[in-house]
Amino acid sequence: QVQLVESGGGLVQAGGSLRLSCAASGRTFSRYAMGWFRQAPGKEREFVAGVSSSGAYIYYEDSVKGRFTISRDNAKNTVYLQMNSLKPEDTAVYYCAADADSFGLRGLRASARHWGQGTQVTVSS
């Protein structure tokens, strides 16, 4: 079992940057693939970015490629999402998620088993 707590959300102007953090409890963090999802008002939750347990494999949703960077520090049990060149359409609640490693992060992307409470990101135009 792993518990996840997100931080770093807030209000930023378009073109600005934010860095989200997700701190995980437990001693098995390094075994999990980790990811970020988001849910905008009136929309379904969508996958944003994911990283394998070792950090060797990273996957991004097309709309954030080149703007967002996911990384992890297994020594600190933390995964990060650096968000640059933010757009109003990035406004959403951002959730951290964890799941067992799988090919192409398919398990994480389809049905992550562990979730944080979410952190609000609001981008003003």
Mean pLDDT across 78-107:
95
pLDDT in tens, 12-39: 999 999 999 999 997 789 999 999 999 9
pLDDT at residue 91 greater than cutoff 90: yes
d(CA 83, CA 112): 22
What is the amino acid identity at position 99? D
The pLDDT tens digits for 38-77 are: 999 999 999 999 999 999 999 999 999 999 999 999 999 9
N- to C-terminal Cα distance for the chain? 40
pLDDT, mean of residues 88-104 = 95
